[in-house]
């Protein structure tokens, strides 16, 4: 078959590889010239993954049999629209895809169905004081249709909103931005699969974020299993099912982000995709479930083999994994520890650099600045994080003066440190 893949970022590489492993042709759509997925695809066409009109035209020209994406939000909507217009398979119709990729609709569904979420409003560039009077500072300003923490800011004053809103809107297709009350929290993510409305939760993970005043929500670490899973087990399961029902989700992957704070669990956002923290790699390690193949098969055949889900339960977990998405200080790279040396460490399960020697690393402003990732295993939680520390001590990314550019962040949920 000829399969069109929307998005060629590092979190899409496993999908493109899977297309090739299945004997299909991979036609990649990505506006970047040197996107990571390019070298694995049969063809690379440089247009935006949000350009549904031209993607439909190309799909017709190339006689595409299926359109697929895995680790990116907005391409889910494009894939749903174009697949519906061409009469080919996809796991979400355009209406559902819009609801899980646009926070205007997403938040309205939360409100309508009494799903707990931070208090919010929608504002335009020329907003008035009265538009935001119901909210209490600090606030979080976000685009309504973007991922990767682009244009996301923690805000402390009205003047700061006016200063930042143009930047936020520059990442959006809409003329409104989302403004919500900041909720002090630890983040928990849930990955799962829906089969004719029946939900199977595959992983519950602590999503550790960088705590800083300007750019918030950038994630350097995922730890499996969540330290909160047992205590909040019933609430997480119940809330996840409420979301599935509220959005009328029936088939395909789900990825939900929760906020846990003093007022309990609240929903940050929901998506119908594989998590972008390389869950296409870690879910097979955790559960022996090839979720990437399941996504691909559903888009090709309108069905997927879900037999691996039947006997799996997170309640019986014996695996501890930490996915470290590391960042670097700004600078030009003169030396990098060979990747094979990192992969030869016995507890490292996967690793990849995002830069090469000679590349210039820019200042960290959002998740697109990832310098690479590695996945480590441990026999328990403390052993896992001890192995994380070992890897950070072991490898180097140096500038011409011998400075190690690698930044290391805390890998514990905030509240866990004090519980």
pTM: 0.93
Residue 371 neighbours by CB under 8 Å, 6+ apart = 326, 327, 328, 353, 354, 355, 361, 397, 405, 406
What are the structural domains of the chain? 2-90 (3.40.50.20), 119-181 (3.30.1490.20), 186-316 (3.30.470.20), 320-418 (3.30.470.20)
Question: 108: Cβ–Cβ under 8 A, 6 or more apart, which residues?
Answer: none
Using alpha carbons, select from 105, 77, 68, 106 the residue that is nearest to residue 270. Answer: 106
Arithmetic mean of pLDDT, 198-226: 87
Confidence of residue 419 (pLDDT cuts 50, 70, 90): very low
Distance, CA of 372 to CA of 336 (rounded, Å): 12
Both tokens of 322, joined, read: 């930490």
Mean pLDDT for the stretch of residues 343-350: 98
pLDDT tens column, 95-133? 999 999 999 999 999 999 999 999 999 999 999 999 999
Give the confidence band of 367 by pLDDT, cuts at 50, 70, 90.
low
Q: Is 326 left (phi over 0), alpha (psi -120 to 50) or beta?
A: beta
CA atoms within 13 A on the CB side of 189: 25
CB of 210 closer than 8 Å to CB of 409: yes
CB 94 within 8 A of CB 222: no
Could you tell me which residues come within 8 angstroms of residue 53 by beta carbon, excluding any fewer than 6 positions away?
A: none
38-90 pLDDT tens trace? 999 999 999 999 999 999 999 999 999 999 999 888 999 999 999 999 999 99
pLDDT score of 309 = 94
What distance in Å separates the CA atoms of residue 367 and residue 149, rounded to the nearest whole number? 6
Instruction: For strands 153-155 and 186-195, give the pairing.
Output: unpaired
Q: Is 344 left (phi over 0), alpha (psi -120 to 50) or beta?
A: alpha
- The pLDDT value recorded for residue 215 is 63
Q: pLDDT tens across 233-281, in order?
A: 999 999 999 999 999 999 999 999 999 999 999 999 999 999 999 999 9
Place of tokens 């992983």: 203
Whole-angstrom CA distances from 255 to 98, 114, 149 are 15, 20, 16
| Confidence class for position 212, pLDDT limits 50, 70, 90 | low
């Amino acid at each position: 078959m000829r399969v069109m893949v929307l998005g060629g970022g590092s979190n899409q590489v496993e999908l493109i590889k899977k297309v090739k492993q299945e004997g299909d042709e991979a036609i990649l759509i990505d506006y970047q010239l040197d996107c990571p997925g390019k070298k694995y695809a049969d063809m690379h066409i440089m247009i935006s993954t949000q350009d549904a009109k031209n993607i439909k035209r190309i799909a017709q020209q190339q006689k595409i049999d299926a359109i697929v994406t895995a680790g990116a939000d907005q391409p889910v909507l494009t894939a749903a629209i174009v697949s519906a217009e061409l009469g080919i398979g996809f796991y979400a119709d355009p209406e559902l895809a819009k609801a899980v990729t646009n926070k205007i609709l997403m938040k309205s569904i939360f409100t309508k169905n009494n799903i707990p979420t931070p208090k919010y409003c929608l504002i335009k560039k020329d907003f008035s004081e009265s538009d935001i009077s119901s909210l209490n500072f600090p606030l979080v300003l976000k685009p309504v249709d973007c991922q990767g923490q682009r244009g996301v800011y923690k805000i402390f004053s009205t003047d700061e909103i006016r200063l930042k809103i143009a930047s936020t809107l520059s990442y959006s297709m809409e003329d409104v931005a989302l403004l919500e009350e900041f909720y002090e929290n630890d983040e928990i993510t849930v990955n799962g699969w829906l089969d004719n409305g029946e939900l199977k939760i595959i992983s519950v993970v602590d999503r550790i974020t960088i705590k800083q005043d300007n750019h918030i929500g950038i994630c350097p670490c995922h730890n499996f299993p969540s330290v909160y899973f047992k205590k909040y087990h019933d609430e997480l399961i119940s809330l996840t099912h409420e979301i599935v029902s509220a959005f009328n989700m029936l088939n395909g992957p789900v990825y939900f982000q929760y906020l846990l704070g003093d007022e309990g669990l609240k929903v940050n956002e929901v998506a119908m995709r594989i998590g972008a923290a390389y869950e296409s790699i870690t879910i097979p390690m955790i559960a022996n479930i090839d979720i990437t193949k399941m996504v691909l098969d559903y888009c090709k055949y309108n069905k997927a083999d879900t037999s691996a889900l039947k006997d799996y339960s997170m309640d019986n977990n014996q695996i501890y994994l930490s996915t470290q998405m590391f960042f670097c200080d700004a600078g030009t790279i003169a030396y990098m520890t060979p990747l094979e040396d990192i992969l030869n460490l016995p507890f490292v399960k996967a690793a990849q650099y995002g830069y090469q020697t000679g590349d210039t690393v820019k200042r960290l402003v959002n998740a697109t600045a990832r310098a690479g990732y590695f996945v480590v295993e441990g026999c328990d939680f403390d052993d896992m994080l001890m192995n994380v520390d070992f890897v950070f001590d072991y490898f180097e990314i140096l500038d011409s003066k011998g400075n190690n550019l690698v930044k290391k962040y805390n890998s514990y949920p905030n509240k866990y440190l004090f519980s």
